[in-house]
Amino acid sequence: MTVYEVINARILKALEQGTAPWNKPWRGAANQPKNLTSGKEYRGINVFVLSAMGYTSPYWLTFNQAKTLGANVRRGEHGTPVVFWKFGSREIQDGEDITTQRTVLARYYTVFNVEQIEKLDVSTALIMPKPPASPIAECELLLASYIGKPEVKHAEQRAWYHKVFDIVNMPQRATFVSQEQYYGTLFHELTHSTGHPKRLNRPTLMDAAAFGDENYSKEELVAEMGAAYLCGVAGIENATINQSASYLAGWLQALRNDHRLLISAASQAQKAVDYIRGCQIAMAA
C-alpha cells in the first residue's frame, strides 16, 4: 500500500464509524501532538491522525526511541502511521542534454503514544496535557496574529468569505449558542481568506466556480481542517463541523475517489494556519 492508501484507510474507518477525525482537536497549543524525544510538533495530516486516536497524552515515540529510553511498547499495542516527505533529485537524459528533476516522495513511519509504552522513566507531569489558561483569550490572540486579515463584518445572519472583495461576514455574536461556536465559525471563514492572491493564492479557493464543484469541495475541506487546527491551538471545542450522515457520506465518496485528497488538503490547511499565526513572518526573518 502507498502512504496515501495507508492514511486514507485510517480516515475512512473513522468516517464509516460516524466521526470526522478533524473534529477532534487537541486542547491548547501546548498539547499539539509532538515527539517526546525531539520535542518537535507533528504537522499536516499527522496532527489529525494522531489527535483522533483518543489518547490523553500528546507525546509519541517510535519503537526504537522507546527502546533507547529503556522502555518498550506494551505487548499487543498497534502503532499509528506518521507521514513525512523525502526530498531528492534525479537526472533525466534527453539526447545529449541532461537535466536534474527535483523529486518529492511521501513516506511514513510508525509511532506509539506514551500511554502504549511501559517502563518509561519520564515525569507524568511532563507528558500529560496542560489545560489552556483562557481559551477565549487565546482565540483573540490568534485573530491579532493574523496580519493583513480581511475586514470582518456582521452585516447579515450568514457566515461567508467573499474572495473578490476580501471580506468576511459573520452573524451577530448573540445568535451563536456559545463563544466557542462563534470563533470556530470565524476560523473557518478566515482559513478561506488565506487563499486570496495577496496571501497564499490557493487554487482551490480562486478556481472554485460554483457550489459543489471539485475545487469548492476541496476548499471546504481545507477550511474545515484549518478551523479544527485553530480551535485546537486555542483550546476550544470544534463544534462547527457538520456531522450529518450526508456530509460524512460525501467525504467518504471523495476520499475513495482520490487517495491524495486528504494529505493535500491537510497540507494546505497547515499553510493557512501558519499564515494566520504569523509563522510565515518568522520563517522569512
pLDDT in single tens digits along all 285 residues of the chain:
788 888 888 888 877 877 777 766 677 778 899 999 999 999 999 998 998 888 989 999 999 999 999 999 999 999 999 999 876 665 565 555 566 666 567 889 999 999 999 999 888 767 887 776 788 999 999 999 999 999 999 999 999 999 999 999 999 999 999 999 999 999 999 999 999 999 999 999 998 766 666 777 889 889 988 998 999 899 887 765 555 556 667 777 778 888 888 899 999 999 999 999 998 543 332
State whether 217 and 279 are in the same domain. yes
Length of the chain: 285
State whether 160 and 36 are in the same domain. no
Q: Is residue 142 in a domain?
A: yes
Give the model's pLDDT for residue 240. 59
Give the model's pLDDT for residue 254. 78
State whether 109 and 220 are in the same domain. no
State whether 72 and 162 are in the same domain. no
State whether 171 and 195 are in the same domain. yes
State whether 163 and 143 are in the same domain. yes
Nearest alpha carbon to residue 215 among 225, 223, 226, 207: 207
Tell which phi-psi region holds residue 212, choosing left (phi > 0), alpha (psi between -120 and 50) or beta. Answer: left
State whether 227 and 147 are in the same domain. yes
Q: Is residue 284 in a domain?
A: yes
Overall number of domains in the chain:
2
Nearest alpha carbon to residue 35 among 12, 58, 15: 58
Are residues 65 and 37 in contact, defined by beta-carbon separation less than 8 angstroms?
A: yes
Q: Is residue 253 in a domain?
A: yes
Q: Tell the burial category of 105 from Cβ atoms under 10 Å away from its Cβ (0-12, 13-18, 19+).
A: exposed
Range of the domain at 69: 28-131
Distance (Å) of CA 71 to CA 65, 115, 159, 187 = 9, 12, 50, 40
State whether 165 and 262 are in the same domain. yes
Tell which phi-psi region holds residue 164, choosing left (phi > 0), alpha (psi between -120 and 50) or beta. Answer: alpha
Give the model's pLDDT for residue 129. 77
Locate cell 487563499: which residue?
Answer: 195
State whether 259 and 161 are in the same domain. yes
State whether 223 and 147 are in the same domain. yes
Q: Which of 111, 131, 151 is the last residue of a domain?
A: 131
State whether 273 and 143 are in the same domain. yes
Q: Which of 131, 153, 180 is the last residue of a domain?
A: 131
Are residues 10 and 228 in contact, defined by beta-carbon separation less than 8 angstroms?
A: no
How much is the pTM?
0.83
